[in-house]
Each structure stands twice: as C-alpha cells, then as structure tokens.
Amino acid sequence: MFREVQTVCPFCGVGCRMTLRVLGGRVEWVYPAEVGVNEGKLCIKGWCAHEFIHHPDRLARPLLREDRGKEFEVGSWDLALSRIQQSLSVVLEETGPESVAFLSSAKCTNEDNYALQKFARAVVGTPHIDHCARL
C-alpha cells in the first residue's frame, strides 16, 4: 500500500508543494499538491524530482582513498570530515582563502545554501562561492 508524504520540490526556490507516493521505503511517484504557490501544477523538473533519490550512481556514503593511485573505499563520516578539515587547513595556510572555492546545489534548501555561503565568506574568508541553479 502506498504511503503519501507531503514535501517541497528540491529543484528551485519557488517552493512548489508536492506529494510523494512511497511504497516499501522507495519513492515511486510524484504529483503536485493542490495547495501552495504551484496551485496543483509542477514543472517538468518537479514531475521528475524523485528520479535521483534511488539512482544507483547517487553517493550515499563517503568514499575515501589512501593514495591517488588506489581505489575509493566506503569510509565513515567522521573520517571524511576530518580529512576535509585537515586538507582545507593546509590549503588555507599555504595559499590563502582566495585559493578556495565552494560549489553548492539547487537540491539543497535555501537555508543550506545560505549556511554554506556564510561559512565560505565568514569562516574561510573566500568570496568564491557558486550555485548550480542553472539546471
């Protein structure tokens, strides 16, 4: 039996409401909610908004490798974040904040994107931040 979950489309900042039809823990279908700014309609991106969720190429866990010549292996979030912090610290110390850039995603919430730009500018000190909203 399908379970219906109310949510907001992840593709842009408009905030279109949608309903996900979930079966066995998998999102199988999307349709527009009758309420909200979209008034029961979705653009083509909204209609396909569920396709990336269970895609086999989607990264769900950190992939790490010891050396550049070696294969990636699944690692823990703690280890991945520690390596990012260490590597970022080295780059900032050696070449300064102007050498670092951040890229965010249209699939993040506006709040997530705001937090990343705040981190980039206030913590790291770089003005170089971009967003892939040009889908």
- In tens, the pLDDT along 71-101 reads 999 999 999 999 999 999 999 999 999 999 9
CB hemisphere CA count around 18 (13 angstroms): 24
Q: How far is CA 115 from the centre of its chain?
A: 13
pLDDT for the residue numbered 67? 87
In the chain, what are the domain boundaries? 3-47, 60-95, 96-135
- Kindly report whether the global pTM for this prediction surpasses the value 0.75: no
SS3 123: helix
Q: In what order do the strands lie in the sheet with 26-32?
A: 3-8, 17-23, 26-32
What is the C-alpha separation between 102 and 68, in angstroms, rounded? 22
pLDDT for the residue numbered 63? 95
* Between 111 and 115, the higher pLDDT residue: 115
Q: What is the mean pLDDT of residues 52-77?
A: 91
CB hemisphere CA count around 8 (13 angstroms): 12
User: Does 3 score more than 80 pLDDT?
Assistant: yes
Mention the CATH class of domain 3-47.
mainly beta
